[in-house]
Amino acid sequence: MTVIVSILLVMFGLDPSSGRLQVYDRETKILDTREEQIKKNEEQKKQNTDTSVKPKENKKTPSIKASVVGSDNMEQLKHKKFLLKHAQAHFENPFLRPNNKDLEEREKEQKIEKERQSHIRTAKMHITMVRSILKSLADDSVAEEFEKKASECLDMKEPKDMDKCYTKALQHIMFKMTPEKGIEFSTRMDELVSSNPNSPLKANPTTDPLFTEKYNNYTIEKVLSSIGVKDVAVFFKEGVEKCMKILNLQKRVRCHNDLKADTMLKLDDKQKTDFLGKMKNLGALVINYS
């Protein structure tokens, strides 16, 4: 209310504080209070604008100075990038260069392991098929024994060592069967190998001449026992053990031939006929000793 009264007094040329008429200098220009207020507001706004602009200029100024002063930092940054690039080249290139020895060794190892795993998969299928054949020829214990021995071969590092071990497992299991079953098993193995020409496993136990010699002696011993001349079978078995200790091949062959002749002399005519008939029916494994 007081403000309104003061404004009214000023409008009528009266002093707001006393309410009396004010005396003005003729030269002094009387401005409208509203115009003065507007002018003051504009000046104040201008001052505020100038004040708000100055801090921004102050903020920009240090950044400009920093960019000038930071030229040294830029050089340091370039140097760091240079070092980083060479460090990466040092640590990464051994795995990127095609001619690098480490990379070649790694690729070689990976290739060998890939071939090994492929060989293992083939061997597992082969073991399963052989186990099935054995179950059809002998009791389950023979098939299980073979599977156990053959599976141990898969832990070997080199495929060629696996094959040697696998062949020995096949040879071992043939001595667990009668000659009749063993020879039939050998025939079935021939069929299995020939039906898989691309298989890396060509393991037929009879392809080893030394094994063939041993199995032939085993067959003779079992046939002698089957015709009722066990004493002659023992004589032959002991003779074989002596001959096998001879390292020289020619002398060992001569020993075997002499042993066979001595064994036949211990048989009468009927026993000889029975023995030779059974050996023929078996198609016994025979080595050419000539």
Residue 48 has pLDDT above 80, yes or no: no
Crossing angle for the helix pair 179-194 and 209-226, nearest 10 degrees? 150
C-alpha torsion 44→46→49→54, nearest 10: -100
Strand partners, 14: 21
pLDDT at 100: 64
Residue 64 has pLDDT above 50, yes or no: no
Question: How far, CA to CA in Å, does 141 sit from each of 130, 136, 148, 170, 289?
Answer: 14, 12, 11, 14, 36
Contact (CB, 8 A) for 169 and 156: no
Residue 57 has pLDDT above 70, yes or no: no
Q: Is the pTM of this model over 0.85?
A: no
Give the residue carrying structure tokens 């002398």: 251
The per-residue pLDDT for range 111-153, each reduced to its tens digit, is 888 888 888 888 888 899 899 999 999 888 999 999 999 999 9
In the chain, the largest separation of any two C-alpha atoms, in whole Å, equals 175
| Domain locations along the chain | 95-205, 208-290
Identity of the highest mean pLDDT range in 24-38, 160-174, 272-286: 160-174
The per-residue pLDDT for range 143-187, each reduced to its tens digit, is 999 999 999 998 888 888 888 898 889 889 999 998 889 888 888
pLDDT-derived band at 59, boundaries 50, 70, 90: very low
pLDDT at 3: 61
Higher pLDDT, 178 or 104: 178
pLDDT-derived band at 254, boundaries 50, 70, 90: very high
| 276-285: average pLDDT | 78
Is residue 280 helix, strand or coil? helix
Which of 231, 237, 290 shows the shortest CA–CA distance to 260? 237
Contact (CB, 8 A) for 208 and 274: no
Higher pLDDT, 46 or 67: 46
Here the tokens at position 104 are: 């070649």
Question: How far, CA to CA in Å, does 9 sit from each of 17, 24, 30, 32?
Answer: 9, 15, 15, 13
The per-residue pLDDT for range 193-244, each reduced to its tens digit, is 777 655 655 666 666 778 888 888 899 999 999 999 999 999 999 999 999 8
**In whole angstroms, what is the distance from residue 277 CA to residue 215 CA?**
18
pLDDT-derived band at 267, boundaries 50, 70, 90: very high
What percent of the chain stands above pLDDT 90? 23
Higher pLDDT, 76 or 24: 76
